[in-house]
Amino acid sequence: MPVAVIAPFQAMTISRRAHALGAAGRSIIHMEYGQPSTGAPASALARARQVLDTDPMSYWESQALKARIARHYHDTDGISVDPERIILTCGASPALVLALSTLFAPGARVALARPGYVAYRNTLKSLYLEPVEIACGPAERYQISAAAIAAIEPAPAGVIIASPANPTGTIIAPDELAAIAEVCRARGIRIISDEIYHGLSYVGRCRSLAVDAPDALIINSFSKYFSMAPWRLGWLLVPPDLVEPARARMSNLFLTPPSLSQHAGLAAFDDVAELDGHIATYARNRDLMLAALPAMGLASIAPPDGAFYIYADIGHLTDDSLAFCLRLLDETGVATAPGVDFDPVDGHRFLRFSFAVATPQVEDAIARLVPWFGAQASRGAAA
């Protein structure tokens, strides 16, 4: 079997260029990554400092953190979770590898929405699984549906659900989540639900798919709501019969998450006021971006219900989103993500803005972007 061919993550191409320009003295606004500009909450930092001073640390799995995560599911979704069903991971990316490798043998077909997070497709390919990408456009609110899953023939072995989604920020309604769970149950399709943006919603609370599909594998992370992306801490919730296989993969492939991060993550759960303050900032940033889009001539976007992204159609300006984003960066200092990362078919005419940066940076970005996009439209009209 040949080595799997994996496409590059082009947002990193943009980011490398952006950092090089920044090192050369340019003013750069980083809207290419979904990374909060805020740091870990104060309680997490205080706990980390205390641990650094008092604990040499080791390979370790925090039982207290697992119990706190289990309590989180009870508090937010009203479901009872045995803490032993929670596998602590080095962020959401290893959790995805654990979920896929625990559920599926090489060659299995796994459905996912297109556009969707670049690593879904490429992690599937790296594990010799077959991505079955379902085109999801404005009519579907860029989200996979129960009807779309029911129509796949033959039925795939699994499906990846993301709500809120990356790159679109769209959220699947609770009744549709229940319908997806029912279709998958009837067709024998295993569900992996990526819930790393839970807690970041502007249209109401997000419900875990664990409510409707107790046998689903649920991915979550401290990177987004908890603002702890560099701490590399996440978890995978697995059904009881998969605890040991998932644990075996975690211990062999990744050992344990960083001990310091586990201490800090436990403390972060109790810093709700600070964390919810971040959501207020993102909501303000979202409002600013949505108000500015008409002046940029960007009329077609996915509805950003949650997360901190706007996925915009730039097809009237380009058919090469990577080249467009590189030119946008060079001429304005604003880094964005090209749509080809998220959709290899139609992504050449989309880009993604992340509004996870500080509000003054969003305002600065808008001041740069509005005249620049206006100039592109004028150039196209003249041509």
Q: Which of 41, 84, 36 is nearest to 267 (CA)?
A: 41
Do the bridges between strand 86-89 and strand 109-114 make them parallel or antiparallel, or are there none, so unpaired? Answer: unpaired
Q: Summarize pLDDT for 224-273 with one digit per residue, the tens.
A: 999 999 999 999 999 999 999 999 999 999 999 999 999 999 999 989 99
From first to last of its 383 residues, what are the pLDDT tens digits of the chain?
788 888 899 999 999 999 999 999 999 999 999 989 888 999 999 999 999 999 898 999 999 999 999 999 999 999 999 999 999 999 999 999 999 999 999 999 999 999 999 999 999 999 999 999 999 999 999 999 999 999 999 999 999 999 999 999 999 999 999 999 999 999 999 999 999 999 999 999 999 999 999 999 999 999 999 999 999 999 999 999 999 999 999 999 999 999 999 999 999 998 999 999 999 999 999 999 999 999 999 999 998 999 999 999 999 999 999 999 999 999 999 999 999 999 999 999 999 999 999 999 999 999 999 999 999 977 755 44
111 φ, ψ (degrees, to nearest 5): -85, 150
Tokens of 13: 């191409």
What is the pLDDT, as a whole number, of residue 380? 59
Q: Measuring CA to CA, which residue among 358, 189, 376 is closest to residue 295?
A: 376
Residues of the chain within CATH 3.40.640.10 domain(s) are 10-39+273-382, 42-271
pLDDT of residue 5: 87
User: What architecture is domain 42-271?
Assistant: 3-Layer(aba) Sandwich (3.40)
Tokens 């080595």 correspond to what residue?
3
* pLDDT score, position 69: 98
Architecture of the structural domain at 10-39+273-382: 3-Layer(aba) Sandwich (3.40)
Structure token pair of residue 68: 């706190």
- Amino acid letter, 118: V
